[in-house]
Every structure is written in structure tokens, then in C-alpha cells.
């Protein structure tokens, strides 16, 4: 994958190539990264706030006795040219805290997928590939990979979808998630998302939750149906290119972030929208 990383902007890629790394393993991967930090001594370590990154980042931070700011939504370099200012929601999402790590190195942060858009690949980009090696023994693997069981049963993942049709408490039951919302998502080649209220009600699996305690998404189109627009929900979808809100309350906060708003009953509007899109597409 080194060339792919270079095409996307990396100038140097350090490669630990060993069949033992085929499956993620917390302790073995931590050992490799600690080796890397001790050898190369970089100033900053950014890791994706994915399931693996959330497991690996704190382990490495603890091994190196440095700090880690989890789930950053923004970051920039301070005036001194070397300190990173990490921004993340705090106090239940009511404030955005700016956090710095002045005395320990590397400065570490996890950033959710889709918070930053991936740069376009440049096939002519040049970079350096540096081979690295760390000695691993049985004792470095405290757990053993047995089997991979995929959850979620197919369909488009919301993190990767270009179009997301999301439903909230206004959907009243599980039926719209398997019915009208899914039909609209299907005609647009998208995925179904949800607010936490819908997930907590048991109408849809937590894998579909958008927001501060769910997924951060950045689709081209986000259609919010019966979602009020609480700050914790907005934290997960405000990076969408175009937001369309359908809500029967004209004062719902979601309309403040919407590019297009439809005031009305989603149970009337969504099927009409699906039919109109089908007709326009000749389906
Ligand atoms: C620490 C913390 C973390 C949280 N994390 C998340 C998170 O990750 N994601 C998240 O979503 N929330 C999260 N929440 C919860 C959040 O604060 C809100 O409670 C939640 O987003 C509300 O969901 P909702 O908009 O579906 O429901 P509501 O706020 O109840 O809104 C329902 C909306 O549906 C509209 N409506 C009703 N019927 C219809 C209809 N027929 N047609 C059209 N509109 C209709 C209503 O006008 C209303 O605006 C978190 C809260 C806390 C404290």
C-alpha cells in the first residue's frame, strides 16, 4: 500500500512488512509502533478513530508516556510551528475544547473517518519507502486471531455512502427504516442512517447511528427525516455537502443547517420523493 499512500500525499512511508501482521493484534502492533517512535522520533502521531485506531492509539500513548486527544473534529498547528491544537467536543457536546500537549512527545490524536476529506490521488507523486523491522515472538501476541465474523449483513456502509437517508424519532417505529427510508436510499444508491433516538428505541442497529456517539459521515447528500437536529447529531453529519431536512416542525433546528428544507409529514413526502426520482430515472 506504500505507493497508494504516496499517491495520496505521503512523502515517506515506513513499512513493517511481516506475515505476522496479517490480522490486527493490539500488543504486536503496539510493539511495532513503539519501535518506530523510538527510532524515528516524529513530533505528531495521528490515528483514525476507527475500531482499531481507538484500541491502538491509547496503548501506544501509554507505552510512550504521552497524551492523546481522542475523536478530534479539527486540528491546526499553533503559532510556534510545532504544537498541535486539537479541537474536540466536550461536556456532552456543548462546548468545543482546544487541547494541547506541551511537554511530552509525540503529540497524539485520533480523528474520525470523514472529518477530513481524502485528497485526490496523484499517480505521479514521488515518495520514499523505508523498510523497518521489529522482532516479534509468541509472547508479543497476547490474543490469537480465530475467525472474522462480519456484522451488518451487506448493504452500503454509511461511512462510505455518497447518499444517506436518515430517520429519527419522528419515524415512530422500525417499519420506515426497512420500508420507505430504505426504498429512497436504494433508488439513490445510498445507505440508511439514524439518530440516536431511533437506535435507542430499537428501530435500527447502532451501526447506522450518526452523531457524536455514532459515526461521522460526509456524504454528497444527507436527507434527515423526522430528526430535530440536536447538536450531538449535527456533530456527525455537518460535513455533508448538501443537507435536505424533512420535518413537520418549521422551527426544528435541523433547518438551520439544511441547504433545502421541506416542512411537512415525512410519511407523505418520502414516498412522493422516491416516486419522483424513480420517474426521473426511468425506473
Ligand atoms: C452525550 C450524548 C451523546 C449523544 N450522541 C448522539 C448521537 O451520536 N447521535 C444522535 O442522533 N443523538 C445523540 N444524542 C442525543 C441527542 O441529544 C438527541 O436526543 C437526539 O439526536 C434526538 O433524536 P431525534 O432528532 O431523532 O429526536 P427528536 O429530538 O425527538 O426529534 C424528532 C423530530 O421529528 C419530527 N417529526 C415527528 N414526526 C414527524 C413526521 N411525521 N414527519 C416529519 N418530522 C416529524 C419532530 O418535529 C422532531 O423535530 C446524544 C446525547 C448525549 C447527551
- The CATH number of residue 219's host domain is 3.40.50.1220
Mean pLDDT of the chain: 93
242 & 130 share domain: no
pLDDT at position 1: 92
The DSSP call for residue 215 is B
Binding-site residues, ligand 1, Cβ < 6 A: 92, 168-170, 195-198, 209-214, 226-228, 230, 232-233, 236, 246-249, 252, 265-267
What are the backbone angles phi and psi of residue 215, rounded to the nearest 5°? -95, 150
Residue 155 binned pLDDT confidence (cut-offs 50, 70, 90): low
Q: Is residue 117 classed exposed, middle or buried when 0-12, 13-18 and 19+ CB atoms within 10 A define those classes?
A: exposed
Pocket test for ligand 1, best of 209, 217, 232 (most atoms within 8 A of CB): 232
156 occurs within a structural domain = no
Q: Mean per-residue pLDDT for 106-127?
A: 89
Residue with CA nearest ligand 1 atom 4: 232
For the chain, what is the domain count?
A: 2
Cα dihedral 14/19/20/24 (nearest 10): 70
CA 242 to centroid of ligand 1, rounded, Å: 19
Name the pLDDT band for 252 (thresholds 50, 70, 90). very high
| Global ipTM | 0.99
* Span 253-270, average pLDDT: 97
Q: What is the mean pLDDT of residues 38-47?
A: 94
Which residues form the domain of 223? 163-281
In a domain, 145, yes or no: no
Is there a binding annotation on residue 38?
Answer: no
For 64, residues 6+ apart whose C-beta sits below 8 A from its C-beta are 34, 37, 104, 106
Residue 130, pLDDT score: 97
Res. 152 pLDDT band, cuts 50 70 90: low
DSSP tally for the chain: helices H, then strands E: 9, 13
Please check the confidence at residue 4 and state whether its pLDDT lies above 80: yes
* Domain contains 94: yes
Q: Is the Cβ–Cβ distance between 13 and 128 less than 8 Å?
A: yes
Amino acid at each position: 500500500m506504500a505507493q497508494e499512500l504516496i499517491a495520496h500525499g505521503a512523502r515517506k512511508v515506513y513499512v513493517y512488512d511481516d506475515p505476522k501482521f496479517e490480522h490486527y493484534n493490539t500488543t504486536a502492533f503496539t510493539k511495532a509502533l513503539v519501535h518506530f517512535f523510538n527510532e524515528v522520533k516524529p513530533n505528531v502521531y495521528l490515528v483514525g478513530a476507527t475500531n482499531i485506531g481507538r484500541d491502538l492509539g491509547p496503548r501506544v500513548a501509554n507505552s510512550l508516556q504521552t497524551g492523546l486527544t481522542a475523536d478530534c473534529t479539527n486540528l491546526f498547528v499553533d503559532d510556534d510551528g510545532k504544537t498541535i491544537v486539537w479541537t474536540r467536543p466536550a461536556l456532552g457536546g456543548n462546548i468545543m475544547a482546544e487541547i494541547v500537549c506541551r511537554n511530552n512527545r509525540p503529540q497524539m490524536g485520533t480523528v474520525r473517518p470523514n472529518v477530513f476529506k481524502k485528497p485526490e490521488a496523484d499517480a505521479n507523486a514521488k515518495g520514499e519507502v523505508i523498510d523497518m523491522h521489529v522482532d516479534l515472538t509468541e509472547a508479543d501476541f497476547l490474543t490469537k486471531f480465530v475467525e472474522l465474523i462480519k456484522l451488518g449483513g451487506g448493504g452500503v456502509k454509511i461511512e462510505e455512502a455518497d447518499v444517506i437517508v436518515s430517520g429519527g424519532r419522528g419515524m415512530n417505529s422500525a417499519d420506515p427504516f426497512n420500508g420507505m427510508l430504505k426504498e429512497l436510499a436504494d433508488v439513490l444508491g445510498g445507505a440508511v442512517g439514524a439518530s440516536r433516538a431511533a437506535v435507542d428505541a430499537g428501530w435500527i442497529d447502532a451501526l447506522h447511528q450518526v452523531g457524536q456517539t455514532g459515526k461521522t459521515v460526509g456524504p454528497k447528500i444527507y436527507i434527515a427525516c423526522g430528526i430535530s437536529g440536536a447538536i450531538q447529531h449535527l456533530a456527525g453529519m455537518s460535513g455533508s455537502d448538501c443537507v435536505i431536512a424533512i420535518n413537520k416542525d418549521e422551527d426544528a433546528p435541523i433547518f438551520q443547517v439544511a441547504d433545502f428544507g421541506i416542512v411537512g409529514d415525512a410519511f407523505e413526502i418520502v414516498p412522493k420523493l422516491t416516486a419522483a426520482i424513480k420517474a426521473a430515472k426511468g425506473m
